[in-house]
Structure 1
């Protein structure tokens, strides 16, 4: 088993039972344009620290899983010239053995974070069941990893290109608790509401922490917990713009499958929205990082 390389700051925080929040690296290498990605990387770590927790951005560098990145390593991850591979959990063994550089998705970040002892993870959106999955079997590995990994994932729901109803059904089947943060509606990434309800609502970080502690401490099984936090209202994408971009995106990605779908969709949203989707993406992931840190602080008490 490849043991993660953990920074001294993160290792000390874990040893002292202080709050730590895992952050993924795919959003930096594949989700945001050069320059802006490095700014967001710094802002993500800053909002986690301001909320009282220690950030642990995760990536695979030279075949070594890293939990916590130095400034130089963040520079490396954010430099498009380094062409990091997008790594899901299934790809980790190959990346380790072949000494590759890779950015971690929700699935691989969750796996590495949990292995290192980090129990809270903030991201933008969870992967899910793709439209047409009855024929293609295209279902994100994020769901199975969340069903088998004891970690809290804080996100803004799933992207509207996915089959949200089927995604929620699969989460129920896999016994993953879904909590809405100050909402009764499951969010759809750029939109605050998807039209689907959440089974449980929490209104304060302490409430979320209490549910997480009870789930991990008293309920048999290995599943994680999903905390769905809607995009801040002032950054929610206009419905007409969103629906137009979605229609266009679905058409453009009709022949795209697997892990290439999300980058292709995001690229269309970013280029066709005049920067609106970039602002939204940044705002929601920063909001999720702050909330994750607040919940981690409560869990550490």
Structure 2
């Protein structure tokens, strides 16, 4: 093993040895997505939700230049508390390793690392995508191109509603990324249940998603991802009127302060959290817990090849 090869947490090593299902989890939600102390609490809740639904969690991140597939609790706490954690997309991984950096992995990086580790299911909150006015700025998340070449199922609540949802769906189509709604033909908008667009396909159970994984593998035709869009129930979403007002004020503030590039998404999410007095934060947490539960059920179904119990545990 070289100095920079992937390393595995003990619990993931045991799961791989024993043939147990594993779910990949990102680490940017820990270091960049949620404020302290919520970040550490939620990271632990996400992992426990995966366990409660029949799979082994593998939170992915970089510690001292080493990519770790399955951070232990002390490493998760380090990424939650440290102030100099780099936000790592795929292009940053080797450079950050050379610098012996600590880093949190984005959707793009987590997907690529998980696929390299043989993990087929990944749970996150919302994807990055095409930014508003991208026709002028060319600002588009690396998540999209990474998913075009990564054979993984990404369970998410669509793309963040602060982005151009329609343009993002168009880019996913162009890139050949499969998109399906989970028990819906409408694409969710992260904080809100309905993002305003239809999707062509619907999958209704973990077993159907597991069949997708097997079909892609057996066909040997496509090596792209499946974006499985799992909307919040309508009674758990952020109030749509509040969402629209907050988004409008956030975009105005963004232009006023001249925020661009990588800073746009964290700026707008922070604006949502402050302007909604924590309501969006609660919704964000609910999203990732529901997605973690569903991802675990999919991984268990694919691993077993048989039905898994209906109904999954999500912390209240």
| 1:279 matched residue in structure 2 | 282
Are positions 1:129 and 2:130 aligned together?
A: yes
Aligned equivalents of 2:235 and 2:59: distance in 1?
27
Q: Give ranges in structure 2 of 5+ residues lacking alignment.
A: 305-316
Deviation at 1:219, TM superposition (A): 4.5
* Moved >6 Å (runs of 4+): none
Report the counterpart of residue 295 of structure 2 in structure 1.
292
With normalisation by structure 2, the TM-score equals 0.92
Where does residue 27 of structure 1 map in the other structure?
A: 29
What is the aligned partner in structure 2 of residue 55 from structure 1? 57
Provide, for residues 192-251 of structure 1, a one-character-per-residue CA deviation record: whole Å limited to 9, x for no partner. 101101111011111111122212331413211110000243320111100011001112
Relative to the length of structure 1, the TM-score reads 0.97
Q: Give, in whole Å, the separation in 1 of the partners of 2:51 and 2:168.
A: 32
C-alpha distance in 1 between matches for 2:221 and 2:18: 26
**Counterpart secondary structure, 1:103:** strand
- Within a 5 Å distance, the mapping from 1:65-80 to structure 2 comes to 65-79=67-81
- In structure 2, the residue matched to 1:40 is 42
1:50 deviates by 0.6
Structure 1 unpaired stretches of 5+: none
Contact preservation (8 Å) 1:76, 1:82: no
CA gap 1:251/1:293 in 2 versus in 1, 3 angstroms: same
1:266-290 residue CA offsets vs partner (Å, 9 max, x unmatched): 1000011011001000000000000
SS in 1 for 2:177: coil
Alpha-carbon deviation of 1:85? 1.0
Instruction: Give the root-mean-square deviation of aligned CA atoms.
Output: 1.2
The alignment partner of 1:195 has SS state of strand
**How many residues are paired up?**
300
Cα distance in 2 between the residues matched to 1:53 and 1:6:
16
Whether the 8 Å contact between 1:189 and 1:230 is mirrored in structure 2 is yes
How far, CA to CA, are the matches of 1:14 and 1:117 in structure 2?
9
